[in-house]
A and B are shown apart, each in its own frame.
Chain A
Amino acid sequence: MSAAAPVANKKARSFTAPSVIPGFRATFGFTIFYLSLVVLFPLSLLIFRASSLGLSGLYGIAVEPRVAAALRTSFFISFAAAAIDVVFGLITAWVLTRYEFPGRRFLDAIVDLPFALPTAVAGIALAALYAPNGWLGEPLADYDIKIAYTRWGILVALVFVGLPFVVRTVQPLLAEIDAELEEASATLGASRAQTVWRVLLPPILPALLTGFALAFARSVGEYGSVIFIAGNLAYISEIAPLLIIVKLEQFDYAGATGIATIMLAISFSVLLAINLIQAWSQKRFGHV
C-alpha cells in the first residue's frame, strides 16, 4: 500500500482540482468501494441477467402493450406525485422551520412517517381511508369520486411515499440560511416577496430539485403501498413493479430483470438529468 501511495497520490491530485482540504483519497476511495460493493456489483448482475435477452429482447419487452402501459402509469403518476410533493413539501418545510405555532413539533416529527411505516401498512391504511366504506371514501362516494382502486389511489399512495424526501432535503437548508441576507435584501428596498423569490429561493433550488428527483425515483419503484390501493387492473392501474412480480411468478428471471433494467435505465436518466441541472444551477448561483 505504502509503495503504491505516491502514485495514487499523484493521480488523485491530477484528478481533482487543487485544494488545501485533506481527505479526498480516503473519503473518495471509501465512497467508491462501498458504492461498488453494495450497489453497483449487485445491480450489474441484474443487468447481466437481463442481457441474455439482448437489446432487441429488451426493446420487445418495453413495447409490449401491457408493459408499456404499466411503465407509462408508473412514470407519469410518479412525476405528478413528485410535483405535488415539491409544492406542498416546500410550504411544509418553510412553515416548520420559520414559524412557531402549536403542534409544530408534532407535525415536524410525523413528516418521517412514510419512511417508518412499512409500505404495506401505509397501503392498507390508505385503502381503509379511501375505500367506499372508509372515512374519506364514503363522503367522496356521494359525489361519485372514487379514489381507492383507481389511478387516483396510486397518486395518493405515491404522494404519501415521496413527501419526506422533499421536506427533509429542503429543511436543513432553510434552517441554515443566514438572516443577514434577508436583512440586507430588505434594507436595499426589496419587498418581502422579492426577497423570498430572489434571495431565499435560489439557494434552496438545488435541494428542491434533489427532493423532486428522490421523490420521483422512489415513487417509480414503489410496490407495497400501491398494490393495496391500486386495483391492479391490466392497462389501467397496473404498475411496473407488479409486472416484475408477475414475471418472477412464472420463474421468468430474464423477463423480470429485463423490466427492472428498463426501469433502472429510465430512472437513471431522469436522475442524472436533474443532477446535471442542479450542478449547473450551483455553478450559476454559486455558494452563498
Chain B
Amino acid sequence: MRSVSISRRRFGAVVALAASLSTFVDATAQAASSLLNVSYDPTRELYKAINPAFAADWKAKTGETIELQASHAGSGAQARAVIDGLAADVVTLALAADIDAIVNKSGKIAPDWQKKLPNNASPYTSTIVFLVRKGNPKKIKNWDDLAKPGVAVVTPNPKTSGGARWNYLGAWGYALKKFGGDEAKTKEFVKAIYKNAPVLDTGARGSTITFAQRGLGDVLIAWENEAFLAFEEFGKDKFEIIVPTTSILAEPPVAVVDGNVDAKGTRKAAEAYVNFLYTPAAQAIIAKNYYRPAHPEFAAKDDLKRLPKLELFTVDQVFGGWTKAQKTHFADGGVFDDIQKQ
C-alpha cells in the first residue's frame, strides 16, 4: 500500500506543477501597455501597415511605447471570441451586425457605438467586384453573366463568411433593381448564381485560393481589395478584374470595446487608435491597400485612380440595415437556405 500513497502524491505534484506553470505563462503574456485589435481576415496587410504608424504617432504625442497586437479570423468567429472573453480593446470587423452582436450578447460595447465615429464608424469602404481568368473567356461583364448556365462561380459560404454575405447582397441588390423590385424574380436570379457554385469555401481567402491556385471556376466574386491583392500575388498575367455596373457599398466598421478598455485602463489609447484611422496618414495607407478611404483627399492620387467608379448601394438603402438583412437572408430558414434547397 505504501507505493500507492507515493504514486498518489506524485500525481498531485504533477497536476499542481502544470497548473502553476500555466498560470505563470499566462501572467507573462499580459504586457504592460498594449492594445489588441481583433479584426477579420482580409485586413492583415492593412493593419500590418497601420499599426507601426500609430505606434510612432502615439510615442510622439505621449512619449509612451505601445505594443499593438493583432488577431485575425472570420468576422463572426471574432465577434464570438470577444463575447466569450477575448480581451479586445478595439474591434474592426466586416459587418456592423457582428459588432451589434457584441453589444447585444455581452454589453461590452455601448449601443450607440456607430454614432461615436464619423461615417457610420467606417474609416474606409469597399465594394464587391469579379476576378476572371485572363482574356475573360466566358465574357463576364456584369452580375447577369454569373447567373448564366455553364459559368462556374467561386464564392464563399454566406453561412460562414462575412465577406460572402456582401457578395450575396450585392447580387441581390443588383437583381432587385433590374427586376423593378420583384422579389420572386430576384430570388430566382440569385439562386441561379449559387447553382453555378461548385464549391462554397468557409472563408473569403479560401475561395480566392480555390480560384487562383486550384484553377477552379470561371469567376471569383470578391472584395475589391481582395481582388487586387490576388491579382498582385498570383500574377497579373493570369487574371483580370471585372467591375459590374452596380455593386454594394461595403462598410466595415470599427469600435472601442468599452467593457474591456475600462477594465484594462486602455481607453485613452484605444480611442486614439480608432480616431487615428481617420487621420491623413492612415487614410493614405488605407488607399494604398486598395480600400476606399473615408477621406479621399488624404490619399495619393495614383492609389485612388486604381479604384473604378461604379454605382453603389448600401445595405441600409436596399435591405433596411444589417440586422434585418441577416435575419431575412442568412438565419436558419432564411432566403439563402431556401435557395440551397434542391
Contacting pair A23 B3 (CB below 8 A): yes
Most chain B CB within 10 A, of A235, A247, A250, is at A250
Query: A248-B80, A252-B332 known; A233 and B200 CB under 8 Å?
Result: yes
Per-residue CB proximity of B272-315 to A under 8 Å, as 1/0? 00000000000000000000000000000000000000000000
Stretch at the interface among B4-12, B220-228, B244-252, B254-262: B4-12
Which residues of the partner chain A approach B8 to less than 8 Å between Cβ atoms? 26, 30
Query: A22-B3, A23-B4, A25-B4 known; A132 and B216 CB under 8 Å?
Result: yes
Most chain A CB within 10 A, of B8, B101, B199, B216, is at B199
Alpha-carbon gap, A71 to B170, bound state (A) = 32
**Nearest 6 A-B pairs (CB), nearest first?**
A131-B214, A133-B215, A234-B340, A249-B76, A26-B4, A246-B159
Contacting pair B3 A231 (CB below 8 A): no
B1 closest partner in A (C-beta) = A22
B157 interface contact, C-beta 8 A: yes
A134 closest partner in B (C-beta) = B214
Which residues of the partner chain A approach B340 to less than 8 Å between Cβ atoms? 66, 233-235
7 additional A-B pairs beyond A23-B4, A249-B159, beta carbons within 8 Å, are: A26-B4, A127-B210, A231-B200, A235-B340, A242-B202, A248-B77, A255-B332
Alpha-carbon gap, A246 to B161, bound state (A) = 9
Contacting pair B4 A22 (CB below 8 A): yes
Residues in B lying within 8 Å of A, measured CB to CB: 1, 3-4, 7-8, 11, 74, 76-77, 80, 83, 101, 105, 157, 159-160, 197-202, 206, 210, 213-216, 330-332, 337, 340-342
Alpha-carbon gap, A228 to B330, bound state (A) = 22
Query: A149-B199, A234-B340 known; A250 and B4 CB under 8 Å?
Result: no
A276 interface contact, C-beta 8 A: no
Contacting pair A127 B214 (CB below 8 A): yes
Alpha-carbon gap, A149 to B198, bound state (A) = 7
Which residues of the partner chain B approach A65 to less than 8 Å between Cβ atoms? 341
Alpha-carbon gap, A132 to B210, bound state (A) = 11
The listed residue (B83, B101, B214) touching A132 by CB distance below 8 A is: B214
Chain A: number of interface residues, binned into ranges = 20 to 34
Alpha-carbon gap, A231 to B200, bound state (A) = 6
A251 interface contact, C-beta 8 A: yes
Contacting pair A149 B216 (CB below 8 A): yes
Contacting pair A132 B215 (CB below 8 A): yes
Per-residue CB proximity of A125-154 to B under 8 Å, as 1/0? 001100111100000000000001100000
Which residues of the partner chain B approach A246 to less than 8 Å between Cβ atoms? 159-160
A-B contact pairs, 25 of them (CB 8 A): A22-B1, A26-B4, A30-B11, A127-B210, A127-B214, A131-B214, A131-B215, A131-B216, A132-B215, A132-B216, A133-B215, A149-B198, A227-B201, A227-B202, A228-B206, A231-B199, A234-B340, A242-B202, A245-B160, A246-B159, A250-B331, A250-B332, A251-B83, A251-B105, A252-B332
Which residues of the partner chain A approach B202 to less than 8 Å between Cβ atoms? 227, 232, 242, 245
Chain A 19-67 residues near chain B, CB threshold 8 A:
22-23, 25-26, 30, 65-66
Query: A26-B4, A149-B198, A235-B342 known; A251 and B101 CB under 8 Å?
Result: yes
Q: How far, in Å, is B194 (CB) from chain A's closest CB?
A: 9
A250 closest partner in B (C-beta) = B331
Per-residue CB proximity of A236-267 to B under 8 Å, as 1/0? 00000010011111111001000000000000
Alpha-carbon gap, A248 to B74, bound state (A) = 12
